[in-house]
């Protein structure tokens, strides 16, 4: 018997959305399974992500649940149809699954918005900066584990390049820009990399200056990954134990609003560039 494919964030999200669709229709799993002509156990396996689901079954479920949103339905069908393994799967035996989930979400995102208060955005880190960060992971990784993490992080950045790069917007707190991670030379190269990336049309970098003081969401790093439809957006928060993924509609709205406020509070991209340039010159 072939091995069951891993339960990735994308596969689990599809299962969760099918369960939400049923719950919005006010149907129990027993009622839905009976109407569909299957067993409650099989439907439960689909809604937990243990079993895959065909496009035809998704459309049948949408019909039973009277879901009128055709764009949402087709987005779910696309998720079920795309079964190709991404480059991140080659790291499954050597890295925590949360890092692979983030790479998968970034790969499929139609746009990415982030806000960082204490460190550089992962998608904009240099290899030397990332390597120094990973040296301080707890428990301490081995040198090969560090290199696996570095190479994974650099490969994640592929979404910012190519013929159709992902639109990317970030707010970085000035405090993170002052941290000399890896020493003067590494820090200067990191700031120069921010300046270079900020020149790309699809990338917007804003700095939240020290003088702002307290602000909503301070102390928290946020990755907001836009899906093909708003219902399939994902908010990812950095936690000490690993990435936390949020998909509840109320929480998604909260983090969209929070990012709007933080972006409005930050310096303009032009003034942000001037500040980054000045800090780089001082190193």
Between 47 and 4, the more confident residue is 47
What is the pLDDT at residue 32?
95
What is the pLDDT at residue 219?
73
pLDDT for residue 35 is more than 80: yes
103: three-class secondary structure by DSSP = helix
Q: The tokens of 134 are what?
A: 């990973």
Average pLDDT over residues 37-51: 93
**Cα–Cα dist 174/118, whole Å:** 9
Mean pLDDT of the chain: 93
Q: Tell which residue, 279, 238, 282, has the closest CA to residue 96.
A: 238
Beta carbons of 110 and 228 less than 8 angstroms apart: yes
What is the pLDDT at residue 2?
47
Say how far residue 56 (Cα) sits from the centre of its chain. 29
The number of beta carbons lying within 10 Å of the beta carbon of residue 207 is: 25
Instruction: For 173-231, write each residue's pLDDT tens digit.
Output: 999 999 999 999 999 999 999 999 999 999 999 999 999 888 777 777 899 999 999 99
Beta carbons of 40 and 27 less than 8 angstroms apart: no
What is the pLDDT at residue 261?
94
pLDDT for residue 3 is more than 80: no
Instruction: For 205-214, write each residue's pLDDT tens digit.
Output: 999 999 988 8
Q: How confident is the model at residue 241 (pLDDT cuts 50, 70, 90)?
A: low
What is the pLDDT at residue 7?
86
Average pLDDT over residues 106-113: 97
Q: Give residue 53's region: left, alpha or beta (phi > 0; psi -120 to 50).
A: beta
In terms of C-beta density within 10 A (0-12 exposed, 13-18 middle, 19 or more buried), how is residue 44 classed?
middle
Which of the residue ranges 43-47, 80-84, 106-110, 269-273 would you say has the lowest mean pLDDT? 80-84
């Amino acid at each position: 018997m072939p091995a069951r494919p891993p339960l990735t964030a994308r596969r689990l999200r599809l299962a969760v959305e099918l369960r939400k669709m049923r719950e919005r229709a006010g149907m129990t799993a027993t009622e839905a399974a009976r109407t569909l002509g299957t067993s409650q156990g099989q439907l439960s396996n689909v809604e937990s992500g243990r079993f895959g689901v065909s496009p035809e079954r998704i459309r049948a479920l949408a019909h039973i649940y009277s879901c009128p949103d055709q764009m949402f339905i087709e987005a779910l069908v696309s998720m079920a149809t795309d079964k190709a393994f991404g480059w991140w799967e080659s790291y499954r035996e050597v890295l925590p699954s949360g890092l692979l989930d983030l790479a998968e979400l970034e790969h499929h995102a139609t746009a990415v918005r982030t806000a960082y208060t204490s460190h550089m955005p992962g998608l904009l880190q240099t290899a030397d900066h990332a390597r120094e960060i990973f040296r301080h992971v707890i428990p301490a990784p081995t040198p090969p584990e560090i290199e696996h993490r570095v190479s994974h992080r650099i490969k994640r950045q592929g979404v910012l390049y190519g013929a159709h790069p992902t639109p990317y917007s970030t707010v970085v707190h000035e405090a993170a820009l002052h941290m000399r991670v890896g020493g003067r030379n590494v820090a200067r190269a990191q700031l120069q990399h921010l300046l270079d990336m900020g020149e790309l049309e699809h990338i917007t970098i804003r700095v939240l200056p020290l003088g702002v003081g307290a602000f909503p969401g301070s102390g928290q790093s946020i990755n907001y990954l836009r899906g093909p439809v708003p219902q399939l957006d994902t908010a990812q928060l950095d936690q000490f134990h690993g990435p936390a993924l949020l998909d509840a509609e109320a929480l998604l709205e909260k983090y969209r609003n929070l990012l709007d406020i933080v972006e409005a509070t930050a310096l303009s991209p032009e003034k942000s560039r001037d500040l980054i340039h000045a800090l780089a010159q001082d190193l």
